[in-house]
Amino acid sequence: MTDKKYLIVNADDFGQSPGINQGIIEAHRKGIVTSASLMTRWLAAGEAALYGRAHPRLSVGLHLDLGEWIWRAGGWVPVYTVVPLEDRAAVECELFRQIESFRYLMGKDPSHINSHQHVHLREPVRSVAQSVSGRLGIPLREVCPDIHYFMKFYGQTREGLPLRGGIGVERLIDALESLPCGLTVLVCHPGDAQDLKTVYQNERSKELKILCNPRIRAAIDRLGIKLCTFDDWKCIQSSLEYSGAN
């Protein structure tokens, strides 16, 4: 078993607004973000794709967007929906449409797939997304068995209430110190969301500051963690399999 630790820091919602784009770009240039997930349906997607095409060391995947929901009066209320989540044919059609939009914007296939508000973890979205990711040979978030995921760098509870201690420098350093061997993806949401109507707003700028904090980079160096991208995934996978066999 190898004792090497690899880390992909993936920023969701790339392309959702110019402010979020700028936050993700800053977190890539000045911080530890190595990857982003593109929302192809939004007007700022073209701007995000321009940056991604010009900066290949930022791997870019698809952030499948089928809708958004908020917690109100004890239940989930839609902010918007793209297709009914229970309609497999509609989900499949929309996923292929967004894949084609991604190819048009980026000039290549996505490096990974995940989804807005993790709707791909429920059926039938899960099996549709799993089939497509398998065909493309790319990982699907929390479904690929070779990758660990750290999803707790987040400033709200499931119901959208402030989560004290969810994001912070010490919180992130603690997560880095407890990183398992192998490949881990840390999910984050940096940005300036003042130009977007969203329940996750002020937390994004806080995430950005933390991801760019020099103490975080110093901790990564001290712990011998290798920052990488989803484009490195297959090479890392082969390296880990070779290490495990010897």
Specify the DSSP class assigned to residue 13.
E
Say whether pLDDT at 236 is over 90: no
Tokens 């908020």 label which residue? 70
107: exposed, middle or buried (C-beta count within 10 Å: 0-12, 13-18, 19+)?
A: exposed
Q: What is the mean pLDDT of the chain?
A: 94
Say whether pLDDT at 156 is over 80: yes
In degrees rounded to 5, what are phi and psi of residue 193?
Answer: -100, 20
The pLDDT tens digits of the residues spanning 8-63 come to 999 999 999 999 999 999 999 999 999 999 999 999 999 999 999 999 999 999 99
Reply yes or no: is the peptide bond before residue 124 cis, omega within 30 of 0.
yes
Q: Quick one: what percent of the chain has pLDDT higher than 70?
A: 96
* Residues linked to residue 162 through DSSP beta bridges, in sequence order: 156
The pLDDT tens digits of the residues spanning 106-119 come to 999 999 999 999 99
From residue 53, how far is each of 47, 110, 166, 182 by CA, in Å? 10, 12, 32, 28
Contacts of 133 (CB under 8 A, 6+ apart): 112, 113, 139, 140, 143, 144
Say whether pLDDT at 241 is over 90: no
What radius of gyration do the chain's Cα atoms show?
17
The stretch 144-171 carries a mean pLDDT of 91
The pLDDT tens digits of the residues spanning 135-155 come to 999 999 999 888 999 999 999
Say whether pLDDT at 98 is over 80: yes
Please check whether residue 112 is in contact with residue 35, taking contact to mean a CB–CB distance below 8 angstroms: yes
The pLDDT tens digits of the residues spanning 178-196 come to 999 999 999 999 999 889 8
pLDDT at residue 1, as a whole number? 45
Say whether pLDDT at 2 is over 80: no
Cα angle, residue 99 at apex, residues 10 and 156 outer, rounded to 5°: 35
Q: How confident is the model at residue 242 (pLDDT cuts 50, 70, 90)?
A: low
- Output the six-digit token pair for 202: 């002020």
CATH of domain 5-245: 3.20.20.370
From residue 241, how far is each of 138, 236, 238 by CA, in Å? 17, 9, 5
Cα gap 171→180, rounded to integer Å: 16
